[in-house]
């Protein structure tokens, strides 16, 4: 097979060598691209939706680069500056050839009472070099402060006089605005420590709820659980002995602890709706079982078209996933806790709306229907929770989030569902040390969130182990093995490192789009295909001279620095067979192939699409984890 492809490779080499290595820029004037014709960076999907809903205005930057054929758009000047300073940016994109920026002169620009930027007239794009930028004013978007550019100095001065700030010419913007660079292991470690500390403190506070004094015992002081809740003073415990307690819907509307005697204390609904409604903060449900849940997963399909049209984008999602039947429904029940609870449900298990700082721990939750008929294990909306030390099985998603910024999901087990953890419109989350088996996708981050941390998870026997999206996120220390695809790298400006990706059909799939992710120091070994890439330019998966481990190669490390002295292209027709075809190494070392690769590594504009690691590692990053994972796969019959 490789021998038959040699003539085609030589033709490509000769064609490349027949062209000049420097392509001059023509004399034609470069114009801004039409709206929607750029690859955009900056701002989360949630922020963009809020901007559209409030009719706000986003200052934009548009850039033509010397080594990238598409126009790149940036939502805000701040996001433009962050990308220019990212490690590896110039190597991927080259130098800016032309920069355009929004011009707020003549737009009747103003700020709302909340300080949000708005413009009454169309905001066009002008040459950035001709603009003056107001920095440090009161102007902001829902995600934070923004700089505002003007092509007219008088207009910029007028805005600064009215709303504060300083006026600087474009060439001084980079010196004036210094957004924090977050794509470093140290920064992510600090963020992870902060989220973990918050989770630890939240759990410690929740544990105190199970130590309240007993005020009522069901069966001794009153005859029913509902009567006990009515009779108990706030901040006390209702003790529920073993037995089955039937209800057509139980409401806990004061700060109480409902404490069972173990799994044999069973609260059973009438299979028509939610079983337990919690409508007060600081409620605890502990040491009991809940079943008899209704089978309605979503309320959205029950509403007519006119009602749905009136609902905002977030309410539509709430109707779809947050208003169905559940074993326990928390509404405005902040700082509550479910611990030692066993749930059987045909629809959703736990729904949390506006119940920040609540805790779900040591819960065993089984959605009795399959991943198409059942619904969510836990739905978290509008506030962070801690979900830990629990088991989720069946249904669509083990944990589903919507606008639950800061949620921590750790030390759980997920199996036999559509998705294990499914995050939507959720930023700054921590998903850590979870075990996922037999899902369509183990952990999936969707929409365009920011600042998520997904570390030390173990996902196996799934169609996709981990699917990423959004920006400024961290994916590290995960074991992704025995899946159809180990990891889908689909987001932007994120760091993917120190993962063990082995014995999958495809190790890593890089999606189409901008080559802004940092992929380094991963062990990518023993997959049927190491990596695949969607449409787009070459992705360079080497950061500051550190590449990934792709397995032993017949190359050399002459300077003994731990890296091979040749680049590795995991999805090339030659390199993908280095480990299994004896003739591949000979072909890869041929003078023609060596010459063209040398040229491509030097001149970004001549690089072919795909993936290249310019400093592949000689030894694994985490040899113990790799060996243990591959050994366990051999025991279970997975080919390595």
Q: How confident is the model over 147-201, as pLDDT tens digits? A: 999 999 999 999 999 999 999 999 999 999 877 667 889 999 999 999 999 999 9
Where is pLDDT greater, at 373 or 195? 195
Query: What residue ranges do the domains of the chain occupy?
Result: 1-30+508-640, 31-176
Q: Distances in Å between the alpha carbon of 269 and those of 260, 299, 332?
A: 16, 19, 22
577 and 605 in contact (C-beta within 8 Å)?
Answer: no
- pLDDT at residue 554 in the model: 73
Span 557-568, average pLDDT: 87
* Contacts of 39 by beta carbon, 8 Å cutoff, 6+ apart: 70, 71, 72, 73, 513, 514
Q: Does 584 score more than 70 pLDDT?
A: no
* Contacts of 78 by beta carbon, 8 Å cutoff, 6+ apart: 42, 146, 147, 177, 179
Longest dimension (CA), the chain: 94
- pLDDT at residue 119 in the model: 97
The predicted model scores a pTM of 0.88
Tell me the C-alpha distance between 360 and 338, whole Å.
5
Span 355-366, average pLDDT: 98
Q: Does 312 score more than 90 pLDDT?
A: no
Tell me the C-alpha distance between 376 and 310, whole Å.
25
215 and 236 in contact (C-beta within 8 Å)?
Answer: yes
Residue 16 pLDDT level (bands cut at 50, 70, 90): very low
147 and 117 in contact (C-beta within 8 Å)?
Answer: no
338 and 350 in contact (C-beta within 8 Å)?
Answer: yes
Span 265-294, average pLDDT: 98
- pLDDT at residue 92 in the model: 86
Where is pLDDT greater, at 304 or 264? 264
- pLDDT at residue 635 in the model: 66
The highest-confidence range among 60-74, 449-463, 526-540, by mean pLDDT, is 449-463
Span 599-628, average pLDDT: 77
Which two structure tokens, joined as six digits, stand for 191? 């963020």
124: number of Cβ within 10 Å = 14
Q: Distances in Å between the alpha carbon of 474 and those of 54, 328, 431?
A: 31, 32, 10
- pLDDT at residue 37 in the model: 75
Tell me the C-alpha distance between 471 and 452, whole Å.
8
- pLDDT at residue 593 in the model: 43
Residues 372, 491, 465, 49, Cα dihedral to 10°: -30
How big is the CA angle at 484 (ends 548 and 441), to the nearest 5 degrees? Answer: 100
Residue 494 pLDDT level (bands cut at 50, 70, 90): very high
Sign of CA dihedral 76, 79, 81, 83: negative
Q: Long-range contacts for 189-194 (Cβ within 8 Å, ≥24 apart)?
A: 191/428, 191/451, 191/453, 191/474, 192/430, 192/432, 192/453, 192/455, 192/474
Q: How confident is the model over 117-137, as pLDDT tens digits? A: 999 999 999 999 999 999 999
Q: Does 600 score more than 60 pLDDT?
A: no
Tell me the C-alpha distance between 182 and 371, whole Å.
37
562 and 619 in contact (C-beta within 8 Å)?
Answer: yes
Tell me the C-alpha distance between 562 and 540, whole Å.
19
- How much of the chain exceeds pLDDT 90, in percent? 72
Span 281-302, average pLDDT: 92
């Amino acid at each position: 097979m490789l021998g038959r492809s040699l003539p085609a490779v030589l033709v490509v080499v000769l064609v490349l060598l027949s062209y000049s290595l420097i392509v001059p820029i023509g004399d034609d004037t470069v114009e801004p691209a039409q709206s929607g014709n750029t690859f955009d960076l900056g701002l989360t999907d949630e922020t963009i939706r809020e901007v559209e809903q409030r009719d706000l205005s986003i200052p934009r930057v548009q850039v033509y680069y010397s080594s990238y054929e598409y126009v790149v758009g940036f939502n805000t000047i701040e996001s433009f500056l962050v990308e220019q300073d990212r490690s590896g940016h110039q190597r991927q994109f080259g130098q800016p050839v032309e920069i355009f920026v929004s011009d707020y002169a003549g737009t009747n620009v103003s700020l709302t009472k909340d300080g949000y930027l708005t413009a009454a007239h169309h905001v066009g794009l002008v040459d950035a070099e001709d603009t003056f930028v107001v920095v440090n004013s009161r102007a902001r978007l829902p995600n934070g402060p923004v700089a505002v550019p003007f092509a007219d100095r008088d207009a910029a001065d007028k805005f600064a006089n009215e709303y504060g700030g300083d006026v600087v010419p474009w060439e001084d913007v980079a010196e004036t605005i210094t957004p924090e660079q977050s794509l470093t292991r140290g920064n992510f470690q600090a963020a992870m420590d902060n989220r973990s500390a918050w989770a630890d403190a939240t759990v410690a506070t929740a544990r105190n709820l199970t130590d309240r004094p007993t005020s009522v015992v069901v069966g001794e002081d009153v005859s029913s659980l509902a009567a006990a809740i009515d009779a108990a003073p706030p901040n006390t415990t209702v003790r529920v002995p073993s037995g089955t307690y039937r209800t057509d819907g139980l409401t806990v509307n004061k700060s109480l602890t409902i404490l069972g005697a173990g799994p044999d204390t069973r609260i059973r609904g009438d299979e028509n709706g939610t079983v337990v409604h919690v409508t007060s903060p600081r409620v605890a449900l502990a040491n009991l079982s809940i079943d008899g849940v209704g089978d309605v997963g979503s309320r959205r399909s029950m509403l007519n078209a006119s009602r749905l049209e009136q609902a905002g984008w977030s309410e539509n999602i709430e109707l779809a996933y947050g208003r169905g039947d559940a074993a326990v429904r928390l509404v405005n029940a902040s700082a509550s806790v479910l611990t030692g609870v066993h749930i059987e449900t045909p629809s959703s298990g736990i729904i949390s709306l506006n119940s920040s700082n609540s805790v779900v721990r040591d819960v065993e939750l089984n959605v009795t229907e399959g991943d198409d008929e059942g619904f969510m294990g836990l739905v978290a909306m509008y506030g962070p929770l801690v979900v830990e030390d629990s088991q989720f099985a069946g249904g669509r998603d083990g944990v589903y989030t919507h606008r639950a910024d800061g949620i921590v999901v750790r030390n759980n087990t997920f199996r036999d569902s559509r998705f294990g953890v499914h995050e939507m419109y959720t930023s700054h989350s921590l998903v850590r040390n979870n075990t996922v088996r037999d899902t369509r996708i183990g952990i999936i981050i969707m929409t365009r969130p920011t600042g998520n941390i997904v570390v030390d998870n173990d996902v196996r026997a799934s169609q996709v182990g981990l699917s990423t999206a959004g920006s400024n996120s961290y994916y590290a220390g995960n074991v992704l093995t025995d899946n159809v695809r180990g990891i889908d790298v689909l987001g932007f400006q994120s760091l993917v490192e120190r993962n063990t990706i082995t014995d999958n059909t495809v190790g890593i799939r890089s999606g189409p789009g901008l080559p802004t992710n940092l992929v380094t120091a991963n062990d990518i070994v023993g997959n049927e295909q190491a990596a695949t890439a969607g449409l787009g330019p070459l992705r360079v998966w080497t950061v500051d001279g550190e590449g990934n481990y792709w397995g032993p190669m017949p190359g050399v490390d002459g300077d003994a620095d731990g890296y091979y002295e040749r680049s590795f292209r995991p999805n090339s027709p030659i390199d993908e067979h280095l480990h299994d075809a004896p003739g591949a190494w000979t072909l890869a070392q041929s003078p023609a192939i060596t010459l063209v690769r040398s040229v491509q590594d030097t001149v970004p504009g001549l690089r072919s699409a795909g993936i290249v690691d310019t400093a592949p590692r000689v030894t694994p990053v985490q040899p113990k984890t790799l060996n243990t994972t591959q050994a366990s796969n051999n025991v279970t019959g997975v080919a390595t």
